[in-house]
Amino acid sequence: MRRIIITCFTLGLLLWACNSTDTKYSSLISINNLPSQKFIINSSRDTTLVTAKGAILTISKGTLVADAETVELEIKEAYNMEDIFRAGLTTQTNGQPLSSGGMIYINAVNQNIVTFKKKISIAIPGEKLDAKMKLYKGEQLNNKKINWTNPEDLPENPQLKELEKGKQLFISNCASCHAIGRDLTAPNLAHMVKRSKMIAKKEGHNYLYEFTRNWNKVYSKSKYYREITCWSPSVMNLFEPFSDKELDNLYGYIENESELNNLPIPVNYLDECIDSCRKYERIKDSLQGIRTQLEKDSVPMVIEKRESFVILPTTSPVISAPALVEPLTFKSLYYQFTIESFGWYNIDILLKEETHCIPSNLTVSMKGQYSERANLYLIIPSLKALLPGGLLTNQKTTYGFYEKDGSIPLPSETKAYIIAIGEYEDKIVFSEQQFITSRKQSIEIELAFIEKEVFNKKMNSLSFDGLSLLVAGTKKADSLRKVVKDLKEVEMLKPKGCDCNCGKQSLPSTATNNINDEQAILNTK
C-alpha cells in the first residue's frame, strides 16, 4: 500500500513538472511596472469609463454596492507585447501556452467592502478579432505569477458580424481575382488599408474608396493605382453601388485576415516601379530641357570632356497635403465581455488551437555564471505570448517552454525572442536573442552581467510590436545619379520589368525627342 501511495505521489510530481516552470522571481519585470489608473465613480449613476489605452467600461447604476456612495477603482492594462513582458504576465493556463488578445485588471481601492449586484461590461481594443478567443480569469500564484483559469466563451460580438459581412462581400466580388496573402490575376490585398495610407502620404490623398468603386475615375489622378491597372491582365469590375459602410466591412475583413494570418505587408514591385520610373522620368526631362534650351539659344558650346556628371531634378515646391480621409480610423476593433468580480482578465486562445501553430520542438541552452538565478522567457510578438522556461528532463542548463522534451505548438517562420533576466546582489544578469521559428530548433544563449543603466535603456527601447510601414526606397537610386551622361544612356536607367508609359495618355506628355548616337556630353557647369 505504501509503495502504491509513493508511486502515485511520484507520478503526480512528474505530471506537474511537465507543465510547471521555475519559481524564481525578479523584481525587474513585475506587475508594478504597469501604471495604475484611478477612477472615482458614483455608484448611484450610470457611468462609462474610457481608459488611457482605449478600453471602455460601462457600469450601470447599482452595479457596485459599497459603504459609501462613491467607489474608487484601480485599472491596469496590458495590450501589447512590451507591456506584457514588462509586467511579467506570462501567458499560460495550468502550464499550457496561450496567445493573448489583451489583459486588464480592475479592483476597488480604499474601500472596506465592495460587492457586485450587476455585471460590468468591458471592451478592450485589439489589432484583430478571433472568434476562437476565450475569457480567462487571473489566479495569483505563490511565486507572484498569474495562472489564467476558467475559460469562458465571449459573448456575441457585433463587430465580428460586420467582419463576416465583409467576408461575404469579398467572396462574392473580389475572390475570383484577388487573394489575401498572394498574387492571383490581380494583386495581393494583404494590409490594403495600411498600404493605402502609405500611398496617401506620398500622393496627398487617399483614393481607396474611389478606386474600389470606379477605377476609371482614379486612373488619371494616382500613379500608384494607375500602375495597378497596368499590372493586372484583367479589368477590374465597377462597384459604384457599394456604400461606405459596406466598403468599411470589406476593408475591415481584409485587414483582420491579414493580422490573423500574421501576413507581412507585401513588398510590392509597384512601389519600386513607381519610384524608379519617377526618378528616371525626372532625370530624362531635365536633360531634355537643357538640350531644348541650348538648341533654342544656338550658342556654340565648349565641350568639356568628363567621365561622368550628375543632374539633380529641380526641387518641387512644397504643397501642404489636405487632411487625409483614412478608412477605419474612426473605429477600433474590440473584444467585448462582462465581469462580476474584481481581478485580472485575459482574452486568450490555446496555442495548440491557433490556426497557424504546428507541433514543434524548441530548446534553449543557457550558459554563463549565475544562470540558476535567471528567468528564461520565450516571446512571440505576433501572438502576444510570453512563456516562461523550465528545465527539461535530466537537464541542468537546457530549457523548454511547454513539455519536458521541448515540444510546443508554434507558428512557423515567425519572429520570436529568447530573453533571460535575473538579479545577483546588486547586479543584473541578462541575455537576449532574436530568431525565426521553425519545426525543430536548439538555441544557445550566454548570460552576462549588465549595468542597470544599460538594462533600463534596453527595456525602454523594446519594440516587439513595431511594424515598419515605410516603403523601402529603390535600390537603384544611387546608380541613377551616377551613370547619367546623355539622353541615350539615360534609357539604361529605365527600370526593367516596369511599365513607365502606363497611362501616359492621361498625363502631361514628356519630351520624346530621339537621341543622336553622336550627342556629346553636356557641360552643366
To 5 degrees, how large is the angle CA 361–CA 367–CA 371? 105
What is the distance between the alpha carbons of residues 54 and 124, in angstroms, rounded to a whole number?
A: 7
Round the CA-based radius of gyration of the chain to a whole number and report it: 30
> Can you read off the three cell numbers belonging to residue 215?
477605377
Cβ-contact 438, 360 below 8 angstroms: yes
Percent of the chain with pLDDT over 90: 42
Cβ-contact 486, 287 below 8 angstroms: yes
Positive/negative CA dihedral, 251, 253, 259, 265 = negative
Question: What 8-state DSSP symbol labels residue 69?
Answer: S
Mean per-residue pLDDT of the chain: 76
Q: What DSSP line would sit under 173-231, residue for residue?
A: HTTTT--SSS-SSS---TTHHHHHHHHHHHHSS--HHHHHH-GGGTTTT-HHHHHHHHH
pLDDT value for 140:
87
> Can you read off the three cell numbers belonging to residue 112?
472596506
With a cut of 60, say whether residue 317 has pLDDT above it: no
Cβ-contact 324, 205 below 8 angstroms: yes
Give the chain's end-to-end CA distance (angstroms, integer): 103
Quickly tell me which residue has 551622361 as its cell: 485
What is the distance between the alpha carbons of residues 346 and 149, in angstroms, rounded to a whole number?
A: 9
pLDDT value for 299:
38
Positive/negative CA dihedral, 27, 30, 36, 41 = negative
Q: How confident is the model at residue 204 (pLDDT cuts 50, 70, 90)?
A: confident
Of 198, 225, 187, 186, nearest in space to 209 by CA: 225
pLDDT value for 196:
87
Name, of 196-200, 304-308, 310-314, 338-342, the range with top average pLDDT. Answer: 338-342
What is the distance between the alpha carbons of residues 346 and 151, in angstroms, rounded to a whole number?
A: 9
Average pLDDT over residues 478-486: 40
Helix or strand (DSSP H, E) at 82: helix 81-87
What is the distance between the alpha carbons of residues 153 and 332, in angstroms, rounded to a whole number?
A: 21
Q: How confident is the model at residue 131 (pLDDT cuts 50, 70, 90)?
A: very high
Cross-strand bridge partners of residue 121: 58, 338
Helix (H, G, I), strand (E, B) or coil at 359: strand
Cβ-contact 334, 126 below 8 angstroms: yes
With a cut of 60, say whether residue 295 has pLDDT above it: no
Average pLDDT over residues 439-456: 89
What is the distance between the alpha carbons of residues 517 and 487, in angstroms, rounded to a whole number?
A: 10
Name, of 237-241, 318-322, 383-387, the range with top average pLDDT. Answer: 383-387
Q: How confident is the model at residue 2 (pLDDT cuts 50, 70, 90)?
A: very low
What is the distance between the alpha carbons of residues 355 and 259, in angstroms, rounded to a whole number?
A: 12
Question: What 8-state DSSP symbol labels residue 4?
Answer: H
The residues, any chain, with a CB within 8 Å of residue 489's CB and separated by 6 or more, are 483
Positive/negative CA dihedral, 505, 212, 186, 470 = positive
CA 169 → CA 162, 234, 254, distances in Å?
11, 19, 11
Average pLDDT over residues 196-222: 86
Q: How confident is the model at residue 292 (pLDDT cuts 50, 70, 90)?
A: low
- The single-letter code of the amino acid at 146 is I
Helix or strand (DSSP H, E) at 136: strand 134-140
Greatest CA span in the chain, whole angstroms?
115
Q: How confident is the model at residue 318 (pLDDT cuts 50, 70, 90)?
A: very low
pLDDT value for 237:
85
pLDDT value for 510:
32
Beta strands at 333-339 and 120-126: parallel, antiparallel or unpaired: antiparallel
Among 43-47, 268-272, 393-397, 439-443, the range scoring the smallest mean pLDDT is 268-272
What is the distance between the alpha carbons of residues 217 and 219, in angstroms, rounded to a whole number?
A: 6
With a cut of 60, say whether residue 25 has pLDDT above it: no
What is the distance between the alpha carbons of residues 75 and 68, in angstroms, rounded to a whole number?
A: 20
Each residue's pLDDT tens digit, 360-372 = 999 999 887 777 7
Q: Between these two residues, 463 and 410, which has the higher pLDDT value? A: 410
Average pLDDT over residues 324-349: 75
Average pLDDT over residues 342-366: 92
pLDDT value for 409:
95
Q: Strand locations in 414-471, DSSP E? A: 415-424, 427-436, 440-446, 448-450
Cβ-contact 130, 81 below 8 angstroms: no
pLDDT value for 40:
93
What backbone phi and psi angles, to 5 degrees, belong to 357? -95, 135
> Can you read off the three cell numbers belonging to residue 486?
546623355
The residues, any chain, with a CB within 8 Å of residue 41's CB and separated by 6 or more, are 47, 49, 59, 64, 70, 71, 73
Quickly tell me which residue has 511596472 as its cell: 33
Beta strands at 47-50 and 92-93: parallel, antiparallel or unpaired: unpaired
